[in-house]
Amino acid sequence: MQQITAPELAAWLQEPQARAQVQVLDVREPWEVEIASLPGAFTIPMGQIPERHAELDPARPLVCVCHHGMRSMQVGLFLERQGFGQVINLTGGIDAWSRLVDSSCPSY
């Protein structure tokens, strides 16, 4: 599975064409998303992915996000096995995003 850093993702999402194409999937629990989130991210908690992954487009690039990058990596591997073509894990998760990209995004 591909990996992307928070600064790389931020730069990618600045491109208008990429912003329209990329799906950002946050797999954290609702209480975590309430604390901190990426703008425009679609949320499906990790435990609901097997039942809800059909809500995602397997033909579009998909960036998986969690707190530190471990749950999102597991989800990404699952989605690859389901036929998703371009799955990318955010290395360091929302924690890296808040430290390296957006200091206004709370860390926890």
Q: What is the tally of structural domains in the chain?
A: 1
Cα→Cα distances 59→31, 88, 99, Å = 30, 13, 31
Per-residue model confidence (pLDDT) at position 19: 80
Q: Is residue 11 part of a domain?
A: yes
SS3 42: strand
Per-residue model confidence (pLDDT) at position 67: 98
Per-residue model confidence (pLDDT) at position 17: 87
Rounded mean pLDDT, 1-9 = 97
66 among known catalytic residues: yes
Q: Is residue 32 part of a domain?
A: yes
Task: Check 66, 73, 96, 101 and give the catalytic one.
Answer: 66
- Band (18; pLDDT cuts 50, 70, 90): confident
What's the chain's average pLDDT? 96
8: CB partners within 8 A, 6+ apart: none
The CATH number covering residue 31 comes to 3.40.250.10
Lowest mean pLDDT among 18-27, 55-64, 77-86, 92-101: 18-27
Per-residue model confidence (pLDDT) at position 5: 98
**Could you count the other beta carbons within 10 Å of the beta carbon of residue 101?**
19
